[in-house]
Amino acid sequence: MNLKPTMKELVDATQLSRATIDRVLNNRPGVNPKTIETVQHAYSALLVEAAGLVHAPKMQTSSVFSVVVQAGEEYNASLKLAAEKIKASLETKGITLHVCCSSDMNDDEVIRLLNTQAEHADGIAIVAKNTPAINSAVHKLKLKGKHIIALVSDIEPDVRDAYVGINNRAAGQAAGFIIGKHLQYCTDPSVAVIVGTLSYSCHDDREIGFRAQIRKTFPAVSVSEVISGNDNTQQTYDAAIQLLNNVKNIRAIYNVAGGNAGLVAALDEFKSEARPILITHEVNEVTEELIINEKIDYIISQNMSQLLIKTAEKLQNIKEGNDFAIHTFLPIEIITRFTLPTLV
């Protein structure tokens, strides 16, 4: 009996095209390593299912985890895409992962989502502002026995079980190092930092790391402004236009948040002798297009799929009473248009 998975089964399991799957199965070049891994994993899972090892029934979901996200639309879309990519892989481990996003920055909406998800989830990961209201709501859930992980941006340590994400202060230092190297021989250069809101610990930490690195190793470079874009395209555009009109000799901008389309629109509109170097965070549909078109110079990022896998595994360990690390720091990726990973 032929137990090999059919092409249709592989397409259904991976959501990839037949052409891409064919390239992987026949070891042809030009396929992203992550895509190869996805196809290989699906192929193995389908073989096991077809063989019906010891005639065991198909594994049923044993854990349900939720990710509640308070962020801009760009970030929300990239996180949902990553969740879809790893869905089949997690289900083979008996894990279902729900991603619930709010582009509304209102804390009340996030708290409502948290409480709704807590009714059926074994554990919750949260990307949110580090505010008293959020911390209080999370703490109440923890007291009720819910397992909580802070994702990407930390909240108060005593209200969550663990943190998963990059070291944001180190990410800010990396941005400071890159900009400092670019500008170390310039005369009286200024740089600007754009934050969404310092209520996000990750934004705060990135700015602190950036300033510290500039101050330590490139004292001739002055950080002239910190402006708020609130992770919103229009607000970031308005803030950037005001900045560019009021501050002279801006040679670089570090955006710790979202709203990149608005920032680039402002730079396109404001004609200067030398376009400022632009560093931002996260690879998504917006930043991918902008870096390809040379509007963004560097993206500081992390592997979103790996982020969610590590989070699900940690929530599972906490649920089962296993030992787990309080902090899991993912590798910081420095992306240029020449090293841009595929989103597919």
The pLDDT profile of the chain, 344 residues, written as one tens digit per residue, is 456 788 888 888 888 888 888 888 887 877 888 888 888 888 878 777 766 643 444 444 589 999 999 988 888 889 999 999 999 999 999 999 999 998 766 899 999 999 999 999 999 999 999 999 999 999 999 999 999 999 999 999 999 999 999 999 999 999 999 999 999 999 889 999 998 887 999 999 999 999 999 999 999 898 977 778 777 889 899 989 999 998 888 999 999 998 999 999 999 999 888 899 999 999 999 999 999 999 999 999 999 999 999 999 999 999 999 999 999 999 999 999 999 986 54
- pLDDT reported for residue 18: 86
Is beta strand 277-281 parallel, antiparallel or unpaired with respect to 327-329? unpaired
- pLDDT reported for residue 58: 42
- pLDDT reported for residue 104: 66
DSSP letter at 198 equals: T
Please report, in angstroms and rounded to a whole number, the separation of the first and last CA atoms in the chain: 34
Q: Token pair 């802070």 is at which residue?
A: 150
- Nearest CA to 122 out of 143, 96, 151 is that of 96
Beta-bridged to residue 329, according to DSSP, are 165
- pLDDT reported for residue 51: 65
- pLDDT reported for residue 41: 82
Q: Token pair 């990710």 is at which residue?
A: 67
One-letter amino acid of 7: M
SS3 state of residue 160: coil
